[in-house]
Chain A
Amino acid sequence: MTERTIEIIKNHPKYQELVSSRSRYAWTLSILMLLVYYTFIMTIAFKPELLAVTLNNSSVISVGIPIGISIILFSFLLTGLYVRRANSKYDVLLEALKADVKKQGI
């Protein structure tokens, strides 16, 4: 990659939009995942009895079970959200950027 190519891509509005929008989304989802996981782990470390509460009086199932299963489903849901946004928005931006860069003869 030449200096000129770097300059052109770096200052390209589509590149800047792609990078800032994707980083924001990726970090937001990552932090959300960490938040959910560490809230769960800290509950287990400090207040495990919260997860032992049963769903209702007649049930033996603790709330911890649906919560745990939900975290697994939530992880998968997050990956789905990211892939959807990447397929629709980021790939489109990227293709446009590549076409533009090509047009400028790089």
Chain B
Amino acid sequence: MKVLVLLVCISVSLLASGILEGEIERQPLNISAIIMFLLFVGATLTITYWASKRTKTASDFYTAGGSITGFQNGLAIAGDYMSAASFLGISGLVYLAGYDGLIYSIGFLVGWPIILFLISERLRNLGKYTFADVASFRLKQEPIRILAAFGAIATVILYLIAQMVGSGKLIELLFGLPYEYAVILVGVLMILYVTFGGMLATTWVQIIKAGLLLSGATFMAVAVLYHFDFSFEKLFASAVKVHDKGKDIMSPGGLVSDPISAISLGIALMFGTAGLPHILMRFFTVSDAKEARKSVFFATGFIGYFYILTFIIGFGAIVMVLKNPEYLDLAKQAVSGGYPLIGGKNMAAIHLSHAVGGDFFLGFISAVAFATILAVVSGLTLAGASAISHDLYANVFEKGVCDEAKEMRVSKIATVALGIIAIGLGIAFEKQNIAFVVGLAFAIAASSNFPVLFLSMFWSKLTTRGAVIGGVSGLATAIILVILGPIVWMDILGYEEAIFPYKYPALFSVTVAFVFIWFFSITDNSKRARKDKAAFMAQDIRSQTGIGAEGASRH
């Protein structure tokens, strides 16, 4: 039972993106890491300068003018997905519990093929800059845009909190910089990338980081396998011998304990991925449906490969880091026993990089971890800013008649504002328990953004009224159930027992959204409803063929 509780806690903190638990002891300044990080910043700022020369129109700013190729976009999507949480969190989970880390990786991956089969091409054919373009394609603009923008901004801000807090703690540990400096540094760099370089710079920052992360992780995995003469049998046998859980690390240990949680987590990961605004926005950066399709193919390949690497890295860390006094927090060990790692279990991959590649490689991996956070927050901020400027300002406030220069100015102001908000929240949440935020972001994406987007493309009888009522109910249910659930109600508010027993509300909140959308659509006989339904055929033809969409991508 104890193991089970522990594992659920881990899985939750894992969702919360690279959080290092407890007080972080600041490390001495790590010079090689700082030099490599400065190189990365220098290179990305140069790219931003280059991109700023090419970012003139709104289409350049939001979607790099549709000029990204399928391969590049696949790498960038993988970059968005391979956050510091995936890398440090999943390798840390493998390190702690073995097989359970693999279960998590699989859950994160299986949504991608389905996005490819059902969503990616239609999205490209219908949308211009944001997923709200698609959701509101044939429905009444204002209410749907407001709903979609609210879902997008909520998701982005929650995600930003997790990333900022994670980055502050990570940098404090790895670079020896004070927490506030780190958070401000991330915020300022991200504002520079996005305001000056727009989507083009953001995409290239993401591509470079994905390339660095994949090469670094490949090097580590190969070094681990080399150590064991490329024999998996030897690697796993040594891990079983070293680990306190012994043979149990080779099989499922209780991460997924009951069917309700299992299904709910699966739904949150799958539908949530298909409702994340910064991921959806990536589909508009390519020229047509064919490139969008290619993007997902490459992204799935890179992400799958990356998860296999983290599995090997986690097992490598069990053998090479777990009982190595060099990486243990000896002061903590003297008090509580066991084998506590310096910086906590999520540092397993970082310590392994030192074990296989010395100080230099440690510096490299630390710099990559920081770069990862920087790239992910840039993508998030751009998605949030476009929801504000394109959906709320240009299409709701100005009713769709707004000149481009003005819209772009608003999006840049929004970027700076979001950057400042992110810095503020990052500092405010330093000592808070933020284990719920990414889970909540996924729940909102799965329960509000996704159902409205999906049904607007697939269900001819969807009406504006149904979409608004269903989307709002899904959103409200997700938020309420997260508050009443064990993480917020027990761990943060300190009550004895949670009112809602499950950590993942998606099964319930997604159901609420779909049922409400269905019910309030089929009972809708208004004039607007007839208009909504009548417009489906034209939308469907465009989503299936791209006829009529060429204009949208050729700006």
Contacts and interface: CB of A to CB of B under 8 A. Distances in A.
Interface stretch (B100-108, B353-361, B483-491): B100-108
A76 B304 contact: yes
Contact of A33 (B110, B247, B293, B308): B110
Question: Which residue among A15, A54, A65 has the maximum number of chain B CB atoms within 10 Å of its CB?
Answer: A65
A97 B541 CA distance: 12
Contacts of B311: 69
Interface residues of B, number: 51
Chain B contact residues: over half helix, strand or loop, or mixed?
helix
- In this complex, the interface size class of chain A, counting residues with CB under 8 Å from chain B, is 35 or more
Contact of A19 (B110, B114, B236, B544): B544
Contact of B548 (A1, A29, A49, A91): A1
Given A9-B547, A30-B113, A72-B308, A52 B541 contact: no
Given A73-B304, A83-B293, A42 B250 contact: no
A65 B79 CA distance: 26
B257 A45 contact: yes
Interface string B75-110: 000000000000000000000000100110111011
A59 B233 CA distance: 7
B252 A64 contact: yes
Contact of B547 (A36, A79, A83, A101): A101
A45 B103 CA distance: 12
A65 B106 CA distance: 12
A44 B252 contact: yes
Given A30-B113, A44-B262, A52 B251 contact: yes
Contacts of B35: none
B351 interface: no
A1 B237 contact: no
Contact of B117 (A26, A38, A40, A54): A26
A21 to B, nearest CB: 11
B203 interface: no
Question: Which residue among B262, B307, B308 has the maximum number of chain A CB atoms within 10 Å of its CB?
Answer: B262
Interface in B208-257: 232-233, 236-237, 240, 247, 250-252, 255-257
Contact of A60 (B109, B113, B237): B237
Given A44-B256, A61-B233, A37 B266 contact: yes
A98 B545 contact: yes
A45 B537 contact: no
Given A48-B252, A65-B99, A71-B106, A29 B266 contact: no
B547 A91 contact: no
Given A46-B259, A62-B250, A79-B296, A9 B545 contact: yes
A79 B119 CA distance: 13
B297 interface: yes
A68 B99 contact: yes
Contacts of A40: 106
B323 interface: no
B118 interface: yes
B290 interface: yes
B148 to A, nearest CB: 23
B540 to A, nearest CB: 8
Nearest to B290: A91
Contacts of A71: 106, 110
Interface string B527-548: 0000000000110011011111
B526 to A, nearest CB: 22
A54 B105 CA distance: 22
Contact of B262 (A41, A54, A98): A41
Contact of A62 (B99, B110, B293, B297): B99
Contacts of A86: 290, 293
Rank and list the top 10 A-B pairs by shortest CB-CB distance, nearest first: A52-B251, A26-B117, A48-B252, A62-B250, A68-B102, A72-B304, A44-B252, A37-B110, A1-B538, A79-B300
25 contacts: A9-B541, A9-B545, A26-B118, A30-B113, A37-B110, A37-B266, A40-B106, A42-B262, A45-B256, A45-B257, A45-B258, A48-B251, A59-B233, A62-B99, A65-B99, A68-B106, A69-B102, A72-B106, A79-B300, A82-B116, A82-B297, A83-B293, A83-B294, A86-B290, A86-B293
Interface of A: 1, 6, 9-10, 15, 18-19, 22, 25-27, 29-30, 33-34, 36-38, 40-42, 44-46, 48-49, 51-52, 54, 59-62, 64-65, 68-69, 71-73, 75-76, 78-80, 82-83, 86-87, 91, 94, 97-98, 101
Interface of B: 99, 102-103, 105-107, 109-110, 112-114, 116-118, 232-233, 236-237, 240, 247, 250-252, 255-259, 262-263, 266, 290, 293-294, 296-297, 300-301, 304, 307-308, 311, 537-538, 541-542, 544-548
Given A62-B251, A82-B113, 8 more contacts: A15-B545, A26-B117, A30-B117, A33-B110, A40-B106, A45-B257, A72-B304, A76-B300
